[in-house]
Amino acid sequence: MATLAGKAPMNAATYYGIDARWGVGPESSIKLGARFLDLLDKLGPISPAMSHWQLIDFADLVERPLAQVRAEMTEFVSKNIILDDDDQPDPGNGYSLLARGAEIENEHTTPQSIEVWINGGSRWRNDASIDVGGSGHPQDPALVTYPIYRGALEALVSSWPCPWAEAHAFTPDPTPSKPATFPSTPEPKRPRHEFIFRWMLYLSAPLAAGLEAPADLIQEPTPGGGVILSAVRDRFDPTNPEHLRRSLLLWRIMEERVGKAEHPYGADGPGFPARVGPY
Query: Model confidence over 107-159: pLDDT tens digits?
Result: 888 888 999 999 999 988 899 999 998 766 779 999 999 999 999 999 999 99
Top mean pLDDT of 86-95, 146-155, 192-201 is at 146-155
Instruction: Name the pTM for this structure.
Output: 0.86
Q: Please report the pLDDT score of residue 52 as a whole number.
A: 95
**267 pLDDT exceeds 90?**
no
Q: Which pLDDT band holds residue 1 (cuts at 50, 70, 90)?
A: very low
Instruction: Give the integer Cα–Cα distance in Å for 48 and 46.
Output: 7
**76 pLDDT exceeds 50?**
yes
**Any idea which of 13-22, 31-40, 46-55, 166-175 has the lowest mean pLDDT?**
166-175
Q: How would you classify the pairing of strands 62-65 and 126-132?
A: unpaired
State the average pLDDT over residues 244-260: 93
Q: Please report the pLDDT score of residue 7 as a whole number.
A: 36
Q: Which pLDDT band holds residue 34 (cuts at 50, 70, 90)?
A: very high
72 or 61, which is more confident: 72
Q: Please report the pLDDT score of residue 2 as a whole number.
A: 31
